[in-house]
Amino acid sequence: MKAAEQKAAEETAKKFAEAAAKKAAEEVAARKLAEETAKIAAEVAAKKAAEEEAARKAAEEVARKAEAVQKAAEDLSAAELAAEYVVISRDEVPPADSDAVTRSLPSVTPIQKEENMDTNQSGQEVKVNGTNGTNHTQSDNPSNGDIDSSDLLFCRKYVDNIHADKDVASKLRFSVASYNILADCHAQRTSYPWVSKEHLSMTHRADRLRKEIRYLDADVLCLQEVDPNYYADTLVPLMKAKGFAGVFKKRVDDYFNEGEATFWRLSRFTLAQHRGHALKDLACKDLSGSGLEEEKHAAVQNFLNKPSVVLLTQLKCNNTDRLVTVANIHVSFEWLQKPDLQCIEVACAVKEVVRMCDGPSNSHVIAGDFNSWAGTPTYQLAMEGYLNDASMASLQSMANVEFPNGSKASLVNLWWRGFQHTSNCMTSAYAEVMGREPVSTSYPNSGSRKAVDLIWFGGTSLSVSRVLDVPPESATTNPGLPSPVFPSDHLSIKADLYFK
């Protein structure tokens, strides 16, 4: 009897010991979580303080320069002003059709036929050498012979930034366009019941795309969902004839027979360097220093294993010798169910852009199809560089990382340090000018319309003067995207930027 009582006492003591150990472990975990939370709060506060200090110093510098300019203007006499101008009489102006005027006009290089141009057949990362073009002046209505102003594809208007510097020299200005052109592999696999096979064919769409690219007339063109053969056989000769060069990076999965292509006008920019990266490689590189346990590390790495890529191009302005680094990105779609993955991809892309441009104060642009819109954690992270409370709570509720035993966990709880980037002043071109993002695509399965195509820039060294508004909603919803008029399930976007 005593032995039984002693055994029962030992079991009771054991249970109490286990309960005490469990409670102690929970207290340790809670303390660590509290310490990590406090650390995050401290880092956020420090970052905010640094941003406020930088803003204060920038404001003081602007005020100092404004005072200097004002003083210089007051010191400039009327005689000095008069010396800046040469006055001629009306009689000295030659007729518009005179030889003197004709000789002063810039020469125009004729566009060569595409079939006579050399092409590069590689579907991997490729650099294309274009021909130098003449100096380029943009207009609201490009004078291309095959552009019909009554065509709904070209019925778009520029919207000016009322806060932009109106006196910026033309040599500081350049334009960036972004366009997901709908790869043929996706067009043939996705149901678009409102458009015929003829109008969905690449033959029809290629002609419309060619005209739209001419109409956009951007100095830097970022294209997503570019078929490797379409790139080599069509885009290379087309853009080369227009005085552009370009590079291409294919997605890292044969199912996605497409990738990103970036082109730049050779009369405006010279290539300094370029690199293409699989976003999973960038993420896993950051993950390697996370200190996660082996099982958690493997589960997160498996979750990040997607085919998306980012194409980085650093360009030197021929007018000013200043550098601008452009990232062309197509964030994973994943049926819009994995914003945690999208956050990591965007954060990694921005960090890589900042790394290439040697710091957040140097000029950088990130444009493409983000598969996320204003109000989502991905958009908020891109804008602010870290997750706010609402985004954090939203992501913590998503247990998307799966372990071998079938259990699941939230990615942000496992690896919260991955949810931040190093650009300190990311600005959306369209939101800055219009106060909203352009609705640029519709999803055929749900019928929802979203603003997922974005142009971000580092606001420390760049600003935006105007953006090209998308066509009216009535033109793109009847019947839908793509259509006989609009060759893709996305709309192109364009922003005119300038160096500060």
Do the beta carbons of residue 413 and residue 292 sit within 8 Å? no
Task: Please give the Cα distance from 425 to 403 (Å, whole number).
Answer: 37
Task: Please give the Cα distance from 426 to 404 (Å, whole number).
Answer: 38
Write the DSSP assignment of 57-117 as a string of letters.
Answer: HHHHHHHHHHHHHHHHHHH--HHHHHHT-----GGGSPPTTSHHHHHHSPP-PPPPPGGGS
Task: Please give the Cα distance from 445 to 466 (Å, whole number).
Answer: 33
Do the beta carbons of residue 400 and residue 410 sit within 8 Å? yes
Task: Please give the Cα distance from 300 to 313 (Å, whole number).
Answer: 29
Do the beta carbons of residue 396 and residue 40 sit within 8 Å? no
Q: Which of 274, 159, 161 is nearest to 220 (CA)?
A: 274
User: What pLDDT does residue 149 have?
Assistant: 75
Parallel, antiparallel or unpaired: strands 220-226 and 173-180: parallel
> Which helix H or strand E contains 391, and what residues bound it?
helix 389-396
Task: Please give the Cα distance from 290 to 279 (Å, whole number).
Answer: 17
User: What pLDDT does residue 477 have?
Assistant: 87
Cα distances from 260 to residues 117, 229, 280, in angstroms, run 22, 13, 16
Angle, nearest 10°, between helix axes 389-396 and 377-384? 140
Q: Report the predicted TM-score, pTM, of the whole model to 2 decimal places.
A: 0.74
User: What pLDDT does residue 63 have?
Assistant: 60
Q: Spell out where 198-346 has E strands.
A: 220-226, 244-250, 259-265, 269-278, 309-317, 323-330
Residue 452, burial from CB neighbour count under 10 angstroms (0-12, 13-18, 19+): buried
Length of the chain: 500
User: What pLDDT does residue 101 have?
Assistant: 41
Q: Rounded to 5 degrees, what angle do the CA atoms 106, 129, 277 make?
A: 130
Q: pLDDT by residue for the chain (500 residues), tens digit each?
A: 567 667 766 777 677 677 667 777 667 766 776 676 667 667 766 777 777 776 677 667 656 655 654 554 455 444 443 443 344 444 554 554 444 444 444 443 333 333 333 334 344 455 554 434 333 334 454 445 567 878 999 999 999 999 999 999 999 999 999 999 999 999 999 999 999 999 999 999 999 999 999 999 999 999 999 999 999 999 999 999 999 999 999 999 999 999 999 999 999 999 999 999 999 999 999 999 999 999 999 999 999 999 999 999 999 999 999 999 999 999 999 999 999 999 999 999 999 999 999 999 999 999 999 999 999 999 999 999 999 999 999 999 999 999 999 999 999 999 999 999 999 999 999 999 999 999 999 777 666 899 999 999 999 999 999 999 999 998 898 888 999 999 999 999 999 999 99
User: What pLDDT does residue 303 have?
Assistant: 98
Task: Please give the Cα distance from 43 to 37 (Å, whole number).
Answer: 10
User: What pLDDT does residue 2 have?
Assistant: 65
Quick count: other Cβ atoms within 10 Å of Cβ 119?
17
What type of residue sits at position 76? L
Q: Which of 418, 410, 355 is nearest to 381 (CA)?
A: 418
Do the beta carbons of residue 260 and residue 224 sit within 8 Å? yes
User: What pLDDT does residue 140 have?
Assistant: 52
Task: Please give the Cα distance from 244 to 238 (Å, whole number).
Answer: 9
What type of residue sits at position 115? E
Chain-centroid distance, C-alpha 68 = 37
User: What pLDDT does residue 121 have?
Assistant: 37
Task: Please give the Cα distance from 500 to 466 (Å, whole number).
Answer: 15
